[in-house]
């Protein structure tokens, strides 16, 4: 029998994404409530909680219930240990995360949860879209599942990203970032979520350099197929933001992107990510 949860669940689709109603995270909740919330993130992949008037500290404290908060590595190497970030789009600073990706896949331990809290929302546009990479894995033929299950992918900060990231810090920290991250990190293409046991495709869009051991043609074609497959509308859920919406997603079974269709309107979201485990392979 399912355990009672301290909120109502309104699914966004039959298998991916849900709005949770009845929790006020500005109030101290019980350990059981936080555990139920974490289970919901894992179960639904993406959860939305509306009207959460969290301040910076409250959002960080919520993330810390589930693990250490990730500090963006260029800032860590510049000696700034601040896990809080802002996504802010203005006329002078157009939307950036507008292609499918997962966050920080080139970390040896990529985040397990991502969290955004909306503070300024445009009157039109600016939705975020997520893709269910566990549903996408399940929908592959058994033969393709078997083929991809033994593969590893090199995730790497590509050239434009490298330029942008090192420009955010001083030269010394930029060089340290290059040294530490230029080679990239290999992760399994199919990963097991330790909290659910479920398998998903660990895809990360433009952060993926290649499938280890394949020729460039083979790798490009197979990654292209898998990206096209996993980002079909049938695996997506999408959220139209209101102020004080809080969205938490499981980075281990999703990709996401921001839509830029509000530009040049103002949009501002507070962001943090919770550190995850070294991705588990299938066996
Ligand atoms: C992010 C991100 C999407 C958005 O913060 O990692 O991709 O909709 N944001 O702003
Ligand atoms: Mn992102």
Specify whether 64 is catalytic: no
In the structure, what pLDDT confidence band is assigned to residue 88 with cuts at 50, 70 and 90?
A: very high
Q: Give the domain ranges of the chain.
A: 8-275
Are 110 and 251 spatial neighbours (Cβ–Cβ below 8 Å)? Answer: yes
Q: What is the DSSP letter of 66?
A: T
Coil, strand, or helix at residue 27? coil
Angle, alpha carbons 196-200-206 (nearest 5°): 135
Distance separating alpha carbons of residues 218 and 237, to the nearest angstrom = 30
Give the per-residue pLDDT at 29: 87
Atom number in ligand 1 closest to CA 116: 5
Q: What is the pTM of this model?
A: 0.97
Give the per-residue pLDDT at 2: 53
Are 89 and 261 spatial neighbours (Cβ–Cβ below 8 Å)? Answer: no
pLDDT tens per residue across span 204-243? 999 999 999 999 999 999 999 999 999 999 999 999 999 9
Give the per-residue pLDDT at 185: 98
Give the residue-averaged pLDDT of 145-168: 95
What is the full DSSP assignment across 154-222?
A: EE---HHHHHHHHTTS-HHHHHHHHHHHTT-EEEESEEE-TTT--EEE---GGGEEEETTS-HHHHHHH
User: Ligand 1 pocket, 44 CB below 6 A?
Assistant: no
Q: Which of 256, 262, 267, 270 is catalytic?
A: 256
User: Ligand 1 pocket, 209 CB below 6 A?
Assistant: no
Give the residue-averaged pLDDT of 56-83: 94
In the structure, what pLDDT confidence band is assigned to residue 28 with cuts at 50, 70 and 90?
A: confident
pLDDT value at 3 more than 70: no
User: Ligand 1 pocket, 259 CB below 6 A?
Assistant: no
- Orientation of helix 171-181 relative to helix 159-166, angle to 10°: 150
Positive or negative: CA dihedral 28, 112, 11, 59: positive
The percentage of the chain sitting over the pLDDT mark of 70, rounded to a whole number, equals 99
The CATH number given to 8-275 is 3.60.130.10
In the structure, what pLDDT confidence band is assigned to residue 166 with cuts at 50, 70 and 90?
A: very high
The H helix count followed by the E strand count for the chain is 8, 15
pLDDT value at 196 more than 70: yes
Give the per-residue pLDDT at 1: 46
């Amino acid at each position: 029998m399912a355990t009672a949860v301290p909120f109502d669940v309104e699914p966004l689709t039959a298998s991916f994404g849900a709005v949770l109603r009845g929790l006020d995270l500005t109030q101290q909740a019980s350990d059981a409530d936080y555990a139920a919330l974490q289970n919901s993130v894992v179960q639904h992949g993406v959860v939305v909680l509306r009207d959460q008037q969290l301040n910076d500290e409250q959002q960080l404290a919520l993330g810390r219930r589930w693990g250490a908060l990730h500090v963006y590595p260029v800032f860590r190497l510049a000696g700034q240990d601040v896990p809080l970030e802002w996504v802010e789009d203005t006329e002078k600073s157009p939307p950036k995360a507008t292609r499918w990706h997962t966050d920080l896949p080139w970390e040896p331990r990529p985040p397990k949860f991502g969290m955004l809290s909306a503070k300024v929302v445009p009157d039109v546009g600016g939705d975020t879209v997520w893709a269910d990479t566990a549903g996408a894995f399940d929908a592959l033929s058994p033969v393709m599942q078997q083929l991809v299950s033994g593969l590893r992918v090199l995730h790497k900060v590509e050239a434009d990203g490298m330029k942008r990231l090192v420009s955010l810090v001083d030269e010394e920290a930029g060089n340290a970032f290059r040294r530490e991250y230029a080679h990239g990190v290999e992760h399994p293409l199919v990963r097991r979520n330790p909290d659910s046991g479920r398998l998903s495709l660990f895809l990360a869009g433009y952060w993926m350099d290649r499938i280890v051991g394949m020729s460039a043609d083979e790798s490009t074609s197979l990654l292209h197929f898998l990206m096209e497959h996993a980002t079909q509308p049938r695996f997506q859920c999408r959220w139209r933001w209101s102020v004080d919406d809080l969205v938490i997603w499981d980075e281990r079974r999703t990709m996401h992107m921001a839509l830029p269709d509000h530009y040049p309107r103002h949009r501002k979201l507070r962001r943090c990510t919770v550190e995850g485990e070294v991705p588990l392979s299938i066996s």
